[in-house]
Structure 1
């Protein structure tokens, strides 16, 4: 049985999680649990480095969508980085690619998340 491993780092307002291995029905709950345990609070943006994930199934997609919804409800976002061909194909065929923040590089995803995590200037908006 293939294993699924994770690592993480915290940046201001952003949790970066790297996964390695296949995320499918037997392992999707591990991804969900790791995301829940690793982020410091619900309002944090999450960057998920999928560069070493060759396969996602519908169970994994469900975890990604639930994470996206929870983050969005709390004013944050889920950013996916460096999808391999299999996971990218799943997002295209299920038409969820446009719903999720997909970035071609980890650096691009982190930059977007950090920019989104910065507080808005008080009184800077137009009426």
Structure 2
């Protein structure tokens, strides 16, 4: 698994490349805690290259979602692969995590909820 991040005003974007399972879920949890600038930031997960998610990885995402909701923000998953989306569907996790086809859609949704307009730095 490879994790990268970037910041936009009011949002932290984390890209997951690879698999999140029992051997890597703790790394994801630590990474989310480390790179999130503020608990009041929206958290956008670019899951375009997330090829597998097991129950331990799902628990990390749900814990992040609960914490975000307590602060009035959300966790947004973008670019879910069918296999990962199916796990979220069959476990009933979809209502807790907002899902979008593309990162741009997640960014637009965050802007519509009153976030700062996102413009990429040049």
Q: Normalized against structure 2, the TM-score is what? A: 0.90
DSSP 3-state at the match of 1:35: helix
Equivalent residue, structure 2, for 1:66: 63
Equivalent residue, structure 1, for 2:74: 77
Asked if structure 2 preserves the Cα contact closer than 8 Å seen for 1:46 and 1:113, the reply is: no
Runs of 4+ in structure 1 deviating by more than 4 angstroms, as ranges, are: none
How do 1:1-127 and structure 2 match up within 5 A?
4-116=1-113, 118=115
DSSP 3-state at the match of 1:75: coil
- From the superposition, tell whether residues 117 and 66 of structure 1 become closer, same or farther in structure 2 (CA, over 3 Å): farther
The range that moved more, 79-88 or 107-116, is: 107-116
Larger strand fraction of residues: 2
Which runs of 5 or more residues in structure 2 are unaligned?
117-122
* Larger of the two Rg values belongs to structure: 1
Count of residue pairs the alignment pairs up: 116
Residue deviations 1:37-63 (CA, integer Å, cap 9, x gap): 101011110000011011000001100
